[in-house]
């Protein structure tokens, strides 16, 4: 079966204490799945690992193509506020 989207290990998706749904790309930064914004974070900011119910919501909103027990297939994320290199 071919999957559409960027594969991300499911355990790298969190809901922060403020309710933001994010993917942890490492280096102390997460990306908001809904807005595309990158932000610094600390482990203490994590509310809980993303649940299947929350992933279903992201499927409905067009941010997740599909997922299984190990992998989430993200659709292209909004650009967010990235700084361009000169």
| Inside any domain, residue 78 | no
CA dist., res. 5 & res. 82, Å (int):
21
Q: Evaluate if residue 1 carries a pLDDT over 70.
A: no
Higher-confidence residue of 16 and 80: namely 16
| Inside any domain, residue 81 | no
Q: Evaluate if residue 81 carries a pLDDT over 60.
A: no
| Inside any domain, residue 79 | no
| Model pLDDT for residues 23-78, shown as the tens digit of each residue | 998 888 899 999 999 999 888 999 999 999 999 999 999 999 999 999 999 998 76
* Of 28, 70, 69, the residue nearest 46 (C-alpha): 28
How many domains is the chain partitioned into structurally?
1
pLDDT reported for residue 80: 56
Q: Which domain holds residue 33?
A: 6-66
| Inside any domain, residue 83 | no
59 neighbors 21 (Cβ within 8 angstroms): no
| Inside any domain, residue 21 | yes
pTM across the whole model: 0.83
| Inside any domain, residue 40 | yes
| Inside any domain, residue 17 | yes
The residues, ordered by sequence, that sit 6+ positions from 65 with a Cβ below 8 Å of its Cβ are 3, 4, 5, 59, 73, 74, 75
pLDDT reported for residue 61: 95
Q: Where are the alpha helices (DSSP H) in 1-86?
A: 52-60
Mean model confidence pLDDT for the chain: 89
Q: Residue 22 corresponds to which tokens in the numbers above? A: 């994010």
CA dist., res. 68 & res. 66, Å (int):
7
């Amino acid at each position: 079966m071919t999957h559409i989207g960027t594969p991300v290990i499911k355990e790298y998706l969190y809901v922060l204490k403020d309710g933001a749904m994010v993917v942890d790309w490492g280096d102390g930064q997460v990306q908001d799945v809904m807005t595309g914004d990158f932000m610094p974070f600390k482990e203490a900011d994590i509310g809980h690992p993303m649940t299947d119910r929350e992933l279903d919501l992201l499927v409905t909103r067009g941010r997740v193509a599909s997922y299984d027990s190990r992998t989430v297939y993200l659709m292209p994320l909004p650009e967010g506020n990235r700084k361009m290199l000169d």
